[in-house]
Structure formats: structure tokens, C-alpha cells
Amino acid sequence: MAVEASSETYEGLVAEGSVLADFWGPQCVPCLALMPAVERLEEGFDGRLKLIKVNASENRRLCLTLRVLGLPTFILYRDGVEMERLTGNPTAADIKSAVVKLVEGGA
């Protein structure tokens, strides 16, 4: 189940394990279109992937700090270290491929 992250909770949520951070906005049509596929990704990895969601319009300072300048943006972390970033218009297949690399240890 995806966890909503904020500026206060973000660092703690990405600190351990394989994490997919989904930066989205309520007015972002591509974000909303990808959301169901992204949420299903977490289910397919049997607890080896944590999905966190960041509403960019509610967490502008965090987005600036992380240099998230466009939506949708997906940042993949392993134990608190950014391993990959997808931005612009990634497809669900692009995101799944990056997650597989992350979880399987190749990212």
C-alpha cells in the first residue's frame, strides 16, 4: 500500500530498502493516468518494494530541494541513495523496468 510522504517524513521513508517515490499532482493528467499501474507495481514485489507518493502541490519545498521540476517524476532509492530518476513522460513499462533493476540489485 502506497504511503503518502511529506517534507517531514520523506527522508525516513526512503532510508531503508528499495523505494519508488512517485511525485504527482492532482492536475497532472499523465500522473493520474499512470497511478493505477504504479500502485500495482508494489503488489508484484512481495514486500521488496515500498511505494511512497508525494503530492507536489502540497510539498513544493521538498520538490525544490530534490530538484523535482516536472511531473510526473519517479525517484528510485536503495537504502536512502538515489539510484535512478524518471521524469517527463515515462511509460508504465519504463517504470516497471527501472523497478525490476532496483529490486533485483542491478540499478
* Active-site entry in 5, 31, 34, 62: 31
Whether 28 is a known active-site residue: answer: yes
| CA 25 – CA 100 distance, rounded (Å) | 25
Active-site residue, from 7, 25, 28, 66: 28
Contacts of 46 (CB under 8 A, 6+ apart): none
Active site residue 63: no
Distance CA 63, CA 28 (A): 15
Residue 104 contacts by C-beta under 8 Å, 6 or more apart in sequence? Answer: none
Q: What is the largest CA-CA distance in the chain?
A: 34
Cis before 72? omega within 30: yes
Q: Catalogue the active-site residues.
A: 28, 31
